[in-house]
Chain A
Amino acid sequence: MSDKEIRAHQEIYRRALIDAFVKLDPRRMARNPVMFVVQVGSALTTILGVQAMLGQGEAPAAFIGAISIWLWFTVLFANFSEALAEGRGKAQAETLRRARRDTQAKKLKKPQRDASFELAPSAALRKDDTFLVEPGDLIPADGEVIEGIASVDESAVTGESAPVIRESGGDRSAVTGGTRVLSDWLIVRVTANPGEGFIDRMIGLVEGAKRQKTPNEIALNILLAAFTIIFLGVCVTLLPFSIYSVQSAGAGTPITITVLVALLVCLIPTTIGGLLSAIGIAGMDRLIRRNVIALSGRAVEAAGDVDVLLLDKTGTITLGNRQAVEFISVNGGNGTELAQAAQLSSLADETPEGRSIVVLAKEKYGLRGRSVSAGGETQDGMTFIPFTAQTRMSGVNFNGTEIRKGAPDTMLSLIRNQGRHVPMDLERAVENIARHGGTPLVVVRNGDALGVIHLKDIVKGGIRERFAQLRKMGIKTVMITGDNPLTAAAIAAEAGVDDFLAQATPETKLKLIREYQAGGRLIAMTGDGTNDAPALAQADVAVAMNTGTQPAREAANMIDLDSNPTKLIDIVEIGKQLLMTRGALATFSIANDVAKYFAIIPAAFATTYPALQALNFMGLATPHSAVLSAVIFNALIIVALIPLALRGVPYRPVGAAQLLRDNLLIYGVGGIIAPFIGIKVIDVILVVLRLV
């Protein structure tokens, strides 16, 4: 870590410490029933402590004071965890705010380059206003390019320093407020009012201010509130029970309010209650760190539930381009001759496919590509024929030799037109390649078929393993492609996806999503084009590429700033991790109660029923040390678990049964055992330090 980073880190901690106190505002605390109860308990014991200092206490002032202090710590630790989680987001939001500040917009009277403009503050821009941006200008608001083309530095939003091209029409027409134009100019129509723009939403989300509780979080909160109410009942009724017991046993004194409050705080699920909002914020933050902006918390949670991933073939499953993988000579010709012809015809071909043919010829047959001038002319009189829509072939002419390559149907008619016969094995080779999902390119020299180049989609390395993991997680992968079914099937088989949609259109995509949803499944997909928008809007988790169009970005509920379609898989994992962390800590919290009962109950009734000491398995020194140890453990465990809450429970792609077993072992069984050890250790330390 650099000095700067360390300083930023220290700053986050410093602010979190201050915020932990600021967050004590009871109006804020009341939103979290569990911690609110702790706060009320802390206040109550403080009053009892003061009363004890004045000489009328129900117990020694030192004991009540110690309990009170640790109860306040419990509340502060919980607040600290939340503040810490918000810290990173706040730092990021600050940078974003700075980027946006003081922007002057060149507001156009008419949406034309030569129209006059007036300088207006960005806050004055309204939806459908138009403005001009020129090199060096900050784009004042989110909008849609209606004229012009320019390179834009979007690093303020994406962190990516390479400039991107923005132009009117097509899939790259959306611009984001706060980014900077590097060259050329744009006329932009505003699509969001001030305070509703993309950066505003981002600031709101990373700060956690606008964070709304997600459905699962609300459900968990209800469960925790129910436990809190039950334990409140348990502790409140314990006072009359104790009074009755004292009367009937004729010994001892009733349980003190201090011990009742201590018992209550130990029993209610403070561990999960205190860390719950930190877990939620940290989950959002993990997405942001991977450059994904979730526009709603609900979407993050839904990501964990996704059953089906719709993945675009190109870019996600395969590398963007097809590559030559094989030369198949026909009609008794030899491979070298074919490779040479293929290479010659591709020398001026700057497409990735063309280049891959040159590379393959070099690698397989040791043929070196010759240098070619940009004009398509070489010193030895070669003339290159580029691919056109009319001829649907490309090639080269030299020394009276004509080499052509192209799609099979075009080339077959070329051969036939020249009166040559089509070799039997040519058609067979072509068919064979097509059947394996490849694209055949036929090479012809002077009307004679030399052979076929096998172009193939290259499946990304490691993607097959990724899909196997997803399958283990119970997630189905569906490849979406415009290819014909034969090609699609071959690639699907090679990549190991579960299903595919060939010759996909926006309509068939939408239909597929609806079908899956009708079957009760949750769908995630990525998209960037305007024609993806309906499907994105229908999908449960929809990730739009940041390079995508405005409609696509609006239809989505997450935006990937890196525009990397493979990231959908990461998003699913983050969603699952978020839920798992909540579940694991809730289990831990509830399991903790067993030990706390055994610590406090014998201590609470020590004077009335000394026989209950038999339940003091842990051998805690005195009733006061027992109660205090339990309270201290309860507070410290929150601090101890903050890193886990922020980092999340590690997720491994295994089936639900195994996940449950592992987590139950760690957080369930561990949650029962840990407090027995922890409380005993704290008790020993208290005794050694002579604090009790």
Chain B
Amino acid sequence: MTTFGVLQIALYLVALVLLVKPLGAFMADVYESKRTFLDPVLRPVERVIYRACGVSPDQEMAWKTYAVALLVFNFLGLGVVYAIQRVQGFLPFNPAGQGAVAPDGAWNVAVSFATNTNWQNYGGETTLSYLAQMLALTVQNFVSAATGMAILVAIVRGFTRTPSPAQRRREGVGVGNFWIDLTRSTLYILLPLSIALALVLVSQGVVQTFNPYVTANLVQATKDANGNAVAQQVIAVGPAASQIAIKQLGTNGGGFFNANSAHPFENPTPFSDFLEMLSILLIPAALCYTFGKMIGDTRQGWAILAAMLIIFVVFLAVAVWAESSANPALTKLGVDQIASETQGGGNMEGKEVRFGIANSALWATATTSASNGSVNAMHDSFMPLGGLVALVMMHLGEVVFGGVGSGLYGMFAFVIVAVFVAGLMVGRTPEYLGKKIEVYEMKMAALVILIMPLVVLFFTALAVVLDAGKASILNPGAHGFSEILYAFSSMGNNNGSAFAGLSVNTPFYNVLGGIAMLVARYWLAIPMLAIAGSLARKKQVPVSTGTLPTHTPLFIGWLVAIILIVGALNFFPALSLGPIVEQLLLVK
């Protein structure tokens, strides 16, 4: 690894941590409906929206109502995305004349964008019209992210609510209002940040236009596969910057172009690369502070952020080390892969020269740790250990940063398990933030940590057994297994990044993947909301020296251990048959 690479990574981490507090505090103000500097502009807009939609801003929802509202909203969105894809041929803003997307493919895309997964079975520039990209996909990029954030704040309110005895007896104590949380997340947080980022990206060369694709004369004529002379090239363009900003900020990751952020029109310069990478982790990291501020104890937020950062940095180091080291197969052929004045060295296959090893490994780790899924290099070409890092980051359940909102509330499930076992060890009924963790919470948390490994493992098993699954494998052997495991790990965790090397636009992967994405999103969100509803009804237990402290380095270490043992160990056998054995065979 080069010194310059280390410095870039250090700069990235410092910038990220520095932004946590200001953005986190701002978001806390937004969710607590305090006055912010955007109020003069946005308050009137907000009021108009509520009036138009008939939402009364003071109305609190019990968790079940909240859950129903978000499900209805998300499934309507899903339907709209599906419909637009099917009829895009008849709609305007379609200069390339894209036709209807096949039903199974459209289903997969609709689920993918509604669930904030953004797994892409298609190439954007060859499949979708500008209208579909904007109205179907970009809209979902915003609202699926806002949905995740809304669920998170509802859960945080579960910790902070201290109901009166009369309220406790009633079935539901309010956890907020979904429509308000959704609106404020979009209006005050996602929109302003996206507009700012989109403008900067345009300044770096990201395209933003309604013009049709550009046809250019080739400087050097060539021949196609059939031997016909080719003198012209069609260069895809479109309203990209507006979609790319939110795809990075909202942990969506669905690229405008097929090559995602490796494409020069999505991510042209090292500076745009830095900003896009920063945007991946920005909101998930800052939400930790928002959580701390909303519960009135920022130490708790920092503790969770610290646990995330520890895991992140350790795996990042592995990834950077793996990619910096030479590929033994190429070394045998006498290829020079040593870093020097003239070359970055390391495994440059599938990487963009303008980004190099450090930024590609950093992006890969960030995009899989947050459930973003955009890529600036091809993960399939990573060294086996580099690919392993990406897989493990997803296998942790997307709780190390994770999706906006969903990462932190997924983390709460692990915190509940950690608090439960540690609480027993200090001889008290476990409690977190003054709320007792009892049978009901344990049931729901168990549902949350249980479902992901089962979905990923069983769907992978189906794919390696059935011919429909095996037919899509492009690389035989252990790597083929890694590819299938990666695909279902990505969809089963709402990540959306692709390992490639697998033809996934088949009915088998489209249907099964769609189910995996739906389960991964809502099987997590609904039990966590149920926990919020249950916690909201509970009394606040005052802190004493007998209380388990949940902000100390010791607890952070314990939480990390629980995440690694409970999250990652389940996949150790599967990983042994994939990247681990690939690596061992490679170095042998």
Contact = CB atoms under 8 A, between A and B. Distances in A.
Contact of A240 (B439, B441, B449, B464): B464
A605 interface: yes
A632 B461 CA distance: 30
A611 B579 CA distance: 12
A231 interface: yes
Among B434, B457, B555, B577: residue with most chain A CB under 10 A: B577
B572 A597 contact: yes
B384 to A, nearest CB: 12
A302 B428 CA distance: 8
B588 interface: yes
Interface string B192-236: 000000000000000000000000000000000000000000000
B540 interface: yes
Given A219-B437, A611-B581, A230 B453 contact: yes
Contacts of B422: 583, 660, 664
Interface string B534-555: 0000011110111111001011
Given A223-B417, A248-B476, A664-B558, A612 B576 contact: yes
Interface residues of B, number: 67
A683 interface: no
B565 interface: yes
A563 interface: no
A667 interface: yes
A539 B167 CA distance: 22
Contacts of A233: 453-454, 457-458, 570
A473 interface: yes
Contacts of A615: 576, 580
Contacts of A307: 541-542, 544, 546
Interface stretch (A359-367, A459-467, A517-525, A529-537): A517-525
A597 B573 contact: yes
Given A241-B460, A594-B565, A519 B442 contact: no
Contact of B427 (A240, A245, A611, A659): A659
Contacts of B541: 307, 520-521
A528 B461 CA distance: 65
Given A215-B438, A474-B547, A520 B454 contact: no
B584 interface: yes
B573 A659 contact: no
Contact of B438 (A219, A609, A655, A667): A219
B6 interface: no
Contacts of B426: 576, 580, 583, 656, 659-660, 663
B450 A229 contact: yes
B165 A518 contact: yes
Interface string A634-665: 00000000000000000100011101110110
A290 B421 CA distance: 28
B291 interface: no
Contact of B539 (A216, A237, A248, A520): A520
Contact of B424 (A518, A582, A590, A593): A582
B477 interface: yes
Interface residues of A, number: 77
Contacts of A304: 427-429
A40 B98 CA distance: 57
A244 B554 contact: no
Contacts of A576: 426-428
Given A244-B465, A472-B545, A580-B426, A614 B552 contact: no
A303 to B, nearest CB: 10
Contact of A216 (B429, B450, B478, B581): B429
A250 to B, nearest CB: 9
Chain A interface secondary structure, helix, strand, loop or mixed?
A: helix
Among A302, A520, A582, A594: residue with most chain B CB under 10 A: A520
A226 interface: yes
Given A238-B573, A580-B425, A605-B576, A612 B584 contact: yes
B524 to A, nearest CB: 14
Among A580, A583, A591: residue with most chain B CB under 10 A: A583
B544 to A, nearest CB: 3
A668 interface: yes
B554 A237 contact: no
Contact of B446 (A226, A237, A651, A661): A226
B555 to A, nearest CB: 8
A245 B548 contact: no
Contacts of B453: 230, 233-234
Contacts of B443: 222
B113 interface: no
A263 B576 CA distance: 14
A598 to B, nearest CB: 9
A248 B544 CA distance: 59
A243 interface: yes
A236 to B, nearest CB: 8
A579 B548 contact: no
Contacts of A659: 425-427
A251 B246 CA distance: 48
12 contacts: A215-B439, A220-B442, A223-B417, A223-B442, A234-B453, A237-B460, A240-B461, A302-B429, A474-B545, A587-B421, A612-B584, A659-B427
**A-B pairs with the 6 shortest C-beta distances?**
A474-B546, A583-B424, A576-B427, A474-B544, A583-B425, A226-B446
Interface of A: 215-216, 218-220, 222-223, 225-227, 229-231, 233-234, 236-238, 240-245, 248-249, 263, 301-302, 304-305, 307, 471-476, 518-521, 575-580, 582-584, 586-587, 590-591, 593-594, 597, 601, 604-605, 609, 611-612, 614-615, 651, 655-657, 659-661, 663-664, 667-668
Given A230-B449, A583-B423, 12 more contacts: A219-B437, A220-B424, A229-B454, A230-B454, A233-B570, A234-B457, A586-B424, A593-B569, A601-B573, A601-B576, A615-B576, A664-B554
